Amino acid sequence: MSEGLALHWRLIPQRYNLIGTECKTCGEKFFPSRNLCSKCRRKGRIEDYQFSGEGEVYSFSIVHAPPVGFEYLKPYIAAIIKLKEGPLLTAQIVDCRQDEVAIGKKVRMVFRKIVAEGAEGIIKYGYKFRLVD
């Protein structure tokens, strides 16, 4: 099994379900998961947390020169999403025209293909976001 595939399988909960962590001591939520709260610094009170997948566009950019392997997507919208529960994450915005995206617009997580390794390779899925009315 390639290292890329092994890493992909280890990250399935985060990529498929937006599972992060919550500090039960102070209520701070983290994505991706953490083992230690950066706010209260207390170990042992961190638990898994299922995010709603709802949020808003915090910042965004149109990518015209994508990294190798993602050329077929260009141009695409890469955004920083502020989840309803607080954490920021980076994701692609899909299913809309570029001129529809704006800071503050509401978004919801969708489950989509991220990349395929060759014509007959493994397809990796994960989260992206789409605008909501």
32 or 122, higher pLDDT: 32
Looking at the structure of the chain, the number of domains it has is 1
Residue 74: inside a domain: yes
Structure-token pair, residue 86: 């607080």
Residue 96: inside a domain: yes
Amino acid making up residue 71 = E
Domain span holding position 126: 53-131
pTM: 0.82
Residue 47: inside a domain: no
Using CA atoms, how far apart are residues 120 and 11, in angstroms rounded to an integer?
22
Please give the pLDDT value at position 14.
62
| Pairing assessment for the beta strands 106-116 and 123-131 based on DSSP bridges | antiparallel
Mean pLDDT lowest among 23-37, 51-65, 95-109: 23-37
> Containing H/E element for 12?
helix 12-17
CATH number at residue 102: 2.40.50
The string of pLDDT tens digits covering residues 80-95 is 999 999 999 999 999 9
Please give the pLDDT value at position 4.
57
Residue 43: inside a domain: no
